[in-house]
Chains A and B, each alone.
Chain A
Amino acid sequence: MPQALEGSQAIARTVALCRPQVVAAYPITPQTHIVENIAKLVADGKLDCEYVSVESEFSAASVVLGAAAAGSRAYTASASQGILLMSEVLYNIAGMRIPMVMTCANRAISAPLSIWNDQQDSMSVRDAGWIQLYCADNQEAVDTTIQAYRIAERTELPVMVCVDGFTLTHTLEPIELPGQDEVDSFLPPYAFARALDPARPLSMGTLVSPDHYPEARHSHHHALLKAQQEIIDADLDWAGVSGRGYGGLLRIDGGDTAEIGILTLGSVMGTLRDARSEHPGRDAVKLIQLRSFRPFPIEALQQACQGLKHLVVLERALSPGAGGIVGSEVRAAMSELRDAPMIHNYAIGLGGRDVPLDLYQTVLDMVASGGINRFSILDADLEKLPPEDR
C-alpha cells in the first residue's frame, strides 16, 4: 500500500532503513528537509545513529569521511554551494576509496543567485571520482538510495544519488517504502576491510610520489569502470526483492523501430515519458534515461543508440564556453559507431525554469526542421537580452 510522502521525507525514511551509524549534514535548501527528517528520527529514538551537527558542508563531508573510514555506514546530503564547499573533501573521500552515500538535491550554482533546480552542482564534481546516479522520480530515489549503499560497499567507492531539488524533493507522491526486513536482506551490516583500527594501523590518502600516483589514478578509474556491473546487479537484485527495477545503467522506453532518441537525466525523463505515451508517433521515438553518469556507460549507450538517425541530448547544466557536458560525452561515445546518429544538444530548465510537457513536441519539431544543433539553451528567450548578448 503506497504512502503519500514528500520526496525529502521518503528519502530520509529510506536512509533510516539502511541503518546508517553516522549522519553529518549542514542545512541548505532544497536538501534541508532530508536531514531535518533524519535528525528527527534520531531525536525520537527511532533511528540508532550518531547525528553530528556541524558548522559547514566542508565539515559535514569531513565527519562522514572519518566515520566511514572508521568502519561506520555514513550518510550526508547537500546541494548547490554546499556541494562546492564540500568539493575538496569529496575528491578525498573518493580518492581514499571510502564507501558512503550522499544525496545531492540538485540545484543551480551562483552567481546569479538561484535557489532552484538544475544539475550544475553535481556536474561540477563529476570528476571527483564518485559514482553518480540520477533519479527520474521519488520512488526511484528511494530504491536507488538502497542500491547505492550496496554498490558503495561492494566497490569501495562513494555514491552520490542525484535527485532534482524541489521538483522531486518537495513533491508529494505515492511511495512504496520497503520493509526493514527487505532492506536488511539486501544490505548486510557494513564491514569495511580497511577500517581505521588502532590495532592494525594504516594510513589513507598520504603523500604519493610520482612513482605511484599515476597507478593510483589508474586504479581509481578502473574501479569506476568495473562498478558498472555492480550498478546493474544491484538494480536487478533489488528488483528481485522489491519488484521495482530501473534498467541498471540506462532505462530505455521504446524499441528498435525508433529513429529518434531523446536522452536525459533526472526528473525531465518522467515528463518526457508521459508526453511520449500520449503521442501518436511514439514508436518512432526511444527515450534513454541516463541513470549512471559516473561511471559513464559507453558500451550500453552505444548499444541503445544503434539504428537511431537522431539523438537529442537534454541536460540541466552546461560548461560555459564549451556547451553541453553530457552532450559532449555522448557525442564522443557515438563517434565510435559506424552509423552514428546526428547529435542535437540542448540545455533546458536551468535555474528552475519549468520544463513543460510540450518540450517533447518542441524537440521533435527541431529535429524535423533539419540542420543540427551543436549546443544551445533551448528555453532561453533571447528577446530578454540586449542584442550584443544574443
Chain B
Amino acid sequence: MIEIRIHGRGGQGNVVAAYLLATAAIDEGRFGQAFPAFGAERRGAPVVAFVRIAERKLHRHNQVLHPAFLVIQDEALLHVPGVLDGLKPGGRVLVNSSHNSELLSEQYGQQFFALPADSLSKEYLGRPLPNTALLAAFLTLTEVLPTEALNKALRDRFRGTLLDNNLRLVQEVATRVPAGIWEDSFHATGT
C-alpha cells in the first residue's frame, strides 16, 4: 500500500488531484482511495487531501498519518507548521517550486524533487494550475502507474481544449522528469 498526502491551497485543484490519482489507480485495476481533509474551504486557504493505492481492497477510512510521499502544490506551504509531519523515513517530497531540488533537500532534511509546475501550467494551460503537472511528475518519478492511466483519468473528467492542453502538459512533464528514480522509495518506506 502506498499512502500520499497532497497539500495545496483552495482553488489549486487539490481534491481533483487526489481524485485523479486514485481514479488512475482504479482504471489500472488497483485499489485506489482519495479523500480530502475537510474544513471551511475557501480560495487560498491551506487544504489537504489523501490518496491510498493498494493491491487489494482497503476498508479503512482514517486519515493518512504517515505518508510515503508528499505532494506540495505551493512551496510557501513549507513554512506552515505540520506540512512535513509524519513523512515516513525514506519518504519523498514533490514540490511545485523553481528552486533547486538538492538545496531544498538540504534545507528541510528530506528528499525533495522540485518541479516548476506554475510556469509549466501557465505555458500549457494559460494559468498557474499546478496539479496535473505534479501528478505527471509523481507518476514519472515513481512509475507506480503509467502516465497513460493519468491521461485516461483526465479524459473521464475534462473535455475539449482544456483536456488537450492537460494531455500535452502531462507529456511535457514526463519527458522532463527523470523516470523511475523514486521507485526505490517503496522499499525504503516499507510500502
Contacts and interface: CB of A to CB of B under 8 A. Distances in A.
B42 interface: no
Contacts of B162: none
Contacts of A269: 59
Interface in B1-59: 18-19, 22-23, 26-27, 31-36, 38, 40, 57-59
B26 A4 contact: yes
Given A4-B27, A166-B38, 6 more contacts: A2-B26, A4-B156, A30-B38, A116-B38, A268-B61, A271-B60
B58 to A, nearest CB: 6
Contact of B22 (A172, A267, A268): A172
B35 A172 contact: yes
Interface of A: 2-4, 6, 30, 115-116, 136-137, 164, 166-168, 170-174, 267-271, 273-275, 352, 354-357
A4 B59 contact: no
B14 to A, nearest CB: 13
A274 B60 contact: yes
B161 interface: no
B34 A3 contact: no
Given A4-B19, A116-B38, A170-B35, A356 B62 contact: yes
A354 B59 contact: no
A4 B23 contact: yes
Contacts of A4: 19, 22-23, 26-27, 32, 153, 156
A174 B32 contact: yes
B38 A271 contact: no
Given A171-B34, A172-B34, A173-B33, A3 B26 contact: yes
A127 B19 CA distance: 38
Contact of B61 (A2, A6, A30, A270): A270
A270 B40 contact: no
A136 B59 contact: yes
B35 A274 contact: no
A320 B98 CA distance: 54
A356 B3 CA distance: 14
A137 B38 CA distance: 18
Contacts of B18: 172
Given A2-B26, A4-B26, A357 B62 contact: yes
A170 B59 contact: no
Contacts of B32: 4, 172-174
B32 to A, nearest CB: 7
A115 to B, nearest CB: 7
Contacts of A2: 26
